[in-house]
Chains A and B, each alone.
Chain A
């Protein structure tokens, strides 16, 4: 195995149903052993992408390869992929053990080998001793673990996860995220995980691909996507960012009357956007604007104290609402007071599209 071979390589894959384009022609490259997350709003095409890789959906255009082998024409049972579904995917008439063993029984593996493999996998996912339970006797989290064991036991090249944690409550989801990440490190298989939940994506991913409107908008490490989003959509979707749209001028960004300083100069006359993370902004309590900062005045319209963070909403003169999140200290201003929002110029990020 050479390392230059990609785990998944999709070129120009697209899927349309009649006139509806679920996925526009897209290229996707996933490295071996990578934990790749497809993140995006629902109906954006991320599940379609996953199902294309699994072979559950036939692409209307493009090719898909897994470890260099073209699998576009292969049925799902002939591809070396496994999948964890959101829910209802366990076989209710089989025990946990039979569920996990199902794929191995199809391969006509000797019984004692199956038994050993299954119990090894149940150990791995922390379900030791649940062999003879039926799916309906398990909690939601346990059911997802069984699905995971059923997928891992096949030692497929790619493990696909379709919103695996969406049906779980927030606390459990957090724990399961860390566990998924650990399991992936242990088994060293390429994981492709679909979710609409940012926090989940940030926790597990080596690399995130943002999918929306049937397109792969942007991809990169969680850190890069969060701190250095290239597209306006990414800045809008990930984290809590304030975005200013306007026209670039020699002096900065013209947002209709006001000109904001840009971290780097932009081509004059071009429509661009500037985004600033809400935690990079501050409310100035009467103090002067520091050197190298941008400031806008407005009215404080809402204040929420969230423990670690205080969040304030300021309505600018233009009518745009700006969210400011500050650790610890809250602005002393009352709702309705005139305030000034400010941020260091270099905290801004320019989006050309």
Chain B
């Protein structure tokens, strides 16, 4: 047995003092972890909150100056803009409903009947459309939905109709079709995410009890998946009101939503009005998220520990 030679508790450092200064425990490097937080605060939180301030500024010819006026809000609520805004909300709500009816059953099917290992792969199929530019996807609907488009050709060819249907595009229906095509995958994702926390035997128990599919869906599955459905609903609803591309490309001349209104206000150099509309959108989003959180703890979706 040998008497050990000790190094006196301290080890010959493998790093230099300089590298310690940058990357060591107490080095400058540890502040790097706050960088994303700082970035988000500086370029996301602050500008989004400032919309509230800018919306009450006074409009000048090319810019705005500090002040306190509700002129922009009066302008928004007291004009056709508000009616357009409400119409956009209605059309957006219809899109949410259609996306739910078409998309949610897919999430249920994948969770209940697809082998556990293949579930994520099946869900990932719905990411494919997102990999294509949103603008291109929406523009590409034009030759499909038009009077002489692929859809009408197919319908006439199959003998279902004699004359082309012109309601598919440049109408409110066109906007709904565009929104559903763009946002349906969110319903599938969020629905599935929420149901991942539902053990699979639940579906079998329902079968054993002999409840029919609709009752199972209404009484058991929808309540369990509620946080996911709600998250998708808020997402689709807000984007339906806010993204100007869809009404711009697929809606008729009168198709206007909050995004279009903001864009027009900026073109007209009416910055307080643009910011007022942005602030209204922000408030609606926050309100919906708060209500959703109050109804069903939305953090359940994000925090695996709470599942």
Contacts and interface: CB of A to CB of B under 8 A. Distances in A.
A and B touch in the complex (CB under 8 A): yes
Interface of A: 1, 7, 32-33, 65-69, 71, 74-75, 77-80, 106-108, 155-157, 185-190
Interface string B9-46: 11111110000000011000000000000000000000
Interface in B251-272: none
Given A7-B6, A68-B8, A69-B10, 11 more contacts: A32-B6, A67-B6, A79-B9, A80-B6, A80-B10, A80-B11, A107-B14, A156-B11, A187-B2, A188-B4, A189-B4
Nearest to A33: B4
Q: Which has the most chain B C-beta neighbours within 10 Å: A7, A75, A190? A: A75
A74 to B, nearest CB: 7
Q: Which has the most chain B C-beta neighbours within 10 Å: A69, A74, A78, A185? A: A78
Contacts of A155: 7
B201 to A, nearest CB: 30
A197 B249 CA distance: 71
B1 interface: yes
Given A1-B6, A67-B6, A157-B6, A79 B1 contact: no
Contacts of A188: 1-4
A187 B9 CA distance: 17
Nearest to A185: B1
A71 B9 contact: yes
Interface residues of B, number: 17
Contacts of B6: 1, 7, 32, 67, 80, 157
20 contacts: A1-B3, A32-B4, A32-B6, A65-B9, A67-B6, A68-B9, A71-B9, A74-B10, A77-B11, A79-B9, A79-B11, A80-B7, A80-B10, A80-B11, A108-B14, A157-B8, A157-B9, A187-B2, A188-B2, A190-B4
Contacts of B11: 77-80, 156
A186 B9 CA distance: 21
B14 A106 contact: yes
A55 to B, nearest CB: 9
Contacts of A71: 9-10
Contacts of A65: 9
B122 to A, nearest CB: 29
A66 B2 contact: no
A73 to B, nearest CB: 9
A65 B10 CA distance: 10
Nearest to A156: B11
A67 B6 CA distance: 8
A interface: dominant SS? loop
A106 B11 CA distance: 12
A76 to B, nearest CB: 9
Contacts of B9: 65-69, 71, 79-80, 157
A78 B13 contact: yes
Contacts of B24: 75
A24 B12 CA distance: 32
A185 B10 CA distance: 23
Interface in B36-86: none
A138 B10 CA distance: 33
A352 B119 CA distance: 62
A185 B3 CA distance: 10
A107 B1 CA distance: 27
Contacts of B1: 185-186, 188
A157 B7 CA distance: 7
Contacts of A74: 10
A352 to B, nearest CB: 37
B23 to A, nearest CB: 11
Contacts of B15: 77
Nearest to A158: B9
For the complex of A and B, 5 pairs with smallest distance between CB atoms: A66-B9, A69-B9, A106-B14, A80-B11, A75-B25
Nearest to B3: A188
A71 B8 CA distance: 10
B8 A80 contact: yes
B5 to A, nearest CB: 8
A79 B14 contact: no
Contacts of A189: 4
A78 B8 CA distance: 12
Nearest to B11: A80
A77 B20 CA distance: 11
B10 A79 contact: yes
A71 B10 CA distance: 7
Contacts of A106: 14
A161 B221 CA distance: 48
Q: Which has the most chain A C-beta neighbours within 10 Å: B4, B9, B24, B25? A: B9
A235 B243 CA distance: 72
Contacts of A33: 4
Contacts of B10: 66, 69, 71, 74, 78-80
Interface in B202-233: none
A77 B24 CA distance: 10
